[in-house]
A and B are shown apart, each in its own frame.
Chain A
Amino acid sequence: MVEYTNSPEVVSWDVTSKCNLKCSHCYSSSSIENKDDEDLTEEDAYRLIDELSDIGVFQLILLGGEPLIRKDIFNIIDYAVKKNLDVGIATNGTIITKEIAKKLSKYNLNGIQVSIDSPQAHIHDEFRSVKGAFHKSIEGIKTLSSEGNRVIVCSVISKINCFEIENIVKIAIDNGAKEFRTIRYIPSGRGLKEFKENAINEHEANHVHGELLRLKEKYEGIIEIASDHSTDFLENEMTQEFCSAGTSTCAIKYNGNVTPCSYINNEKYVCGNVKEESFFDIWHRKTMRDFRDVRKYQGKCKGCNYIQSCKGGCRAAAIGIHEDGYLPDPYCTI
Chain B
Amino acid sequence: MNNLQRNPKIRWRREVDEVCLYIPKNREMKKLNNVGASVWELCDGSLDSKEIIEEVSKEFDVEANEIKSDVEDFINQLIQLDLLKEA
Contacts and interface: CB of A to CB of B under 8 A. Distances in A.
Contacts, number: 26
Interface in B1-30: 11, 13, 15-16, 20, 22, 24, 27, 29
Nearest to A56: B13
A56 B20 CA distance: 10
A5 interface: yes
Interface in A1-56: 5-7, 9, 56
A289 B71 CA distance: 36
Contacts of B27: 59, 86, 110-111
Contact of A58 (B11, B15, B16): B11
A9 B16 contact: no
Interface residues of B, number: 9
Contacts of A58: 11, 20, 22, 29
Contacts of B22: 9, 58-59, 86
A84 interface: yes
B24 A9 contact: no
Nearest to B9: A84
A6 B16 contact: yes
Nearest to A150: B27
Given A56-B13, A58-B11, A58-B29, A5 B20 contact: yes
Contacts of B16: 6
Given A59-B22, A86-B22, A9 B15 contact: no
A86 B23 CA distance: 10
A5 B15 contact: yes
Contacts of A86: 11, 22, 24, 27
Nearest to A5: B15
B29 A6 contact: no
Nearest to A53: B11
Contacts of A84: 11
* Interchain residue pairs A-B with the least CB separation, the first 3: A56-B13, A58-B22, A86-B24
Interface of B: 11, 13, 15-16, 20, 22, 24, 27, 29
Given A56-B11, A58-B20, A59-B27, 12 more contacts: A5-B15, A5-B20, A6-B13, A6-B15, A6-B16, A9-B22, A56-B20, A58-B22, A59-B22, A86-B11, A86-B27, A111-B27
Interface of A: 5-7, 9, 56, 58-59, 84, 86, 110-111
9 contacts: A6-B13, A6-B16, A9-B20, A9-B22, A9-B29, A56-B11, A86-B24, A86-B27, A110-B24
